[in-house]
């Protein structure tokens, strides 16, 4: 059973089918594109834990996952524990899925943590940050896809930013933390543990469109990452320590990291026990040759792990999240013929001509993805630095 029904489930469904499994997708939106790819659809909200448990028990599922679907991650662990299916501990999943509980876990266990505070009212927020330097970031404690993320540059920004962040929170809480200007670019990538051992870790370059309504929604990913090797080594070691402390088992993780430009201190921003959106596990497979999605599906149904190949280290891959910076009706995506002929791996456009699309404020506003392969790091960085010059999303109005 896969919780959610987004198009990001396709490689998971394909892997499960390759292994001979019947796949049930589950959410309350029957028109979601992922349901067209599964064998069966179950109309149950992924945040209704007991309803999902009832459905999973009735269907006799052998494994359950929530891939690239944040609201279902805790539910999947809950159901797996109740049905004695493969899972990591529910209490640990709950820690990783909550931005505030995760920050307190890091603080209590000696991980590096920037200043943060948690608030449920504007008054609490204003009081908690009164003596802190700007800029800061405010965001919901329980949302994904860059929803509700706002930069604070002065105390005047707090009330409207708080309202925006709170509107995206199911639990009615926001977190405010020190803004860390990254050295080079931050990373948002997927990793994998098998039986508590970190067996695959990836790092990306994560770039943003400063012209977008939300300049904190990632729109380009690159491999290899620009994070210094010494920091990558630190992150791998500390991620393994985290996995051990939380008694995590066989799990995919979406790991966001950055190195503070001012202090050169490396920080974990998020470690979510699920595959990331924006096809990051697929990007890892393209760049490294390691299929962590297949490995995670095998683990979810209790199959023994397969030997993973040695990751390739000489690939230069870029993923562009297709988007528009204004509302309108979609017409087409055009890639410069020279780039299309020499570098394009895949262009996956989700919108049809005439569809209404929104200006890019979160991952939900993306209209597709494109993967490109380059011959060198410099060629890749030059290309993505000028992506607006060779890739165009055209609107009709």
Q: Greatest CA span in the chain, whole angstroms?
A: 58
For the stretch 210-266, pLDDT in tens is: 888 888 889 999 999 999 999 999 999 999 999 999 999 999 999 999 999 999 999
DSSP string for residues in 130-166: TTSPSPEEEEETT--TTTT-EEE-SGGGHHHHHHHHH
Q: Measuring CA to CA, which residue among 141, 150, 329, 182 is closest to residue 265?
A: 182
Structure confidence at residue 309 as a pLDDT band (50, 70, 90):
very high
φ/ψ region of 92 (left if φ > 0, alpha if ψ in -120 to 50, else beta) reads alpha
Phi, psi of 49 (to 5 degrees): -60, -40
Residue 243 to residue 197: CA distance in whole angstroms: 8
For the entire predicted model, the pTM comes to 0.95
Strand partners, 25: 2, 41
Beta strand 187-194 with 197-200: parallel, antiparallel or unpaired?
antiparallel
For the stretch 312-365, pLDDT in tens is: 888 999 999 999 999 999 999 999 999 999 999 999 999 999 999 999 988 889
Q: Output the pLDDT for position 324.
A: 96
Structure confidence at residue 82 as a pLDDT band (50, 70, 90):
very high
Q: Output the pLDDT for position 6.
A: 94
Q: Output the pLDDT for position 144.
A: 75
For the stretch 96-129, pLDDT in tens is: 999 999 999 999 999 999 999 999 999 999 999 9
What are the start-end ranges of the H helices in 10-121?
10-18, 49-59, 73-83, 90-97, 99-108
Burial class (CB in 10 A: 0-12, 13-18, 19+), 88: buried
* Exposure on the CB side of residue 12, measured as CA atoms within 13 A: 35
Domains of the chain: 2-85 (3.40.50.20), 115-178 (3.30.1490.20), 187-395 (3.30.470.20)
Residue whose entry in the numeric block shows the structure tokens 């010059």: 389
Residue 254 to residue 211: CA distance in whole angstroms: 26
Residue 223 to residue 203: CA distance in whole angstroms: 7
Q: Output the pLDDT for position 41.
A: 98
Structure confidence at residue 42 as a pLDDT band (50, 70, 90):
very high
- Quick one: how far is CA 293 from the chain centroid? 14
Is pLDDT above 90 for 303?
yes
Q: What mean pLDDT value characterizes the chain?
A: 96
> For residue 181, what is the DSSP state?
P
């Amino acid at each position: 059973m896969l919780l959610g029904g987004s198009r990001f489930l396709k490689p998971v469904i394909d892997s499960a089918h390759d292994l001979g499994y019947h796949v049930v997708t589950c959410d309350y939106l029957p028109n979601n594109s992922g349901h067209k790819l599964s064998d069966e659809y179950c109309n149950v909200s992924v945040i209704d834990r007991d309803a999902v448990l009832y459905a999973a028990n009735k269907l006799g599922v052998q494994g359950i996952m929530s891939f690239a679907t944040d609201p279902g991650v805790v539910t999947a662990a809950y159901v797996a524990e109740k049905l004695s299916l493969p899972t990591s501990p529910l209490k640990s999943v709950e820690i990783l899925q909550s931005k505030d509980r995760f920050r307190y876990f890091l603080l209590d266990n000696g991980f590096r943590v920037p200043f943060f505070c948690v608030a449920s009212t504007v008054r609490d927020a204003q009081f908690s940050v009164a003596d802190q330097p700007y800029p800061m970031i405010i965001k919901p404690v329980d949302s994904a896809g860059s929803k509700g993320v706002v930069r604070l540059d002065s105390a005047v920004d707090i009330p409207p930013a708080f309202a925006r962040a709170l509107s995206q929170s199911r639990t009615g809480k926001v977190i405010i933390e020190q803004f860390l200007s990254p050295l080079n670019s931050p990373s948002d990538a997927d990793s994998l543990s098998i039986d508590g051992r970190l067996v695959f870790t990836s790092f990306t370059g994560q770039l943003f469109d400063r012209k977008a309504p939300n300049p904190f929604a990632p729109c380009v990913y690159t491999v290899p990452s620009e994070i210094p090797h010494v920091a990558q080594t630190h992150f791998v070691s500390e991620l393994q320590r985290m996995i051990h402390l939380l008694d995590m088992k066989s799990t995919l993780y979406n790991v966001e990291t950055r190195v503070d430009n001012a202090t050169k201190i490396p920080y974990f921003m998020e470690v979510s026990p699920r595959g990331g959106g924006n096809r990051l596990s697929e990007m890892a497979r393209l760049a490294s040759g390691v299929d962590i999605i297949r490995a995670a599906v095998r683990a979810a149904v209790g199959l023994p792990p397969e030997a993973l190949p040695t990751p390739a280290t000489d690939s230069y891959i870029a993923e562009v999240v297709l988007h528009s910076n204004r509302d309108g009706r979609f017409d087409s995506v055009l890639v410069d013929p020279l780039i299309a002929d020499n570098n394009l791996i895949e262009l996956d456009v989700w919108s049809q001509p005439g569809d209404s699309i929104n200006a890019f404020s979160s991952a939900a506003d993306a209209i597709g993805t494109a993967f490109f392969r380059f011959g060198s790091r410099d060629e890749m960085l030059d290309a993505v630095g000028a992506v607006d010059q060779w890739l165009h999303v055209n609107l009709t109005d």
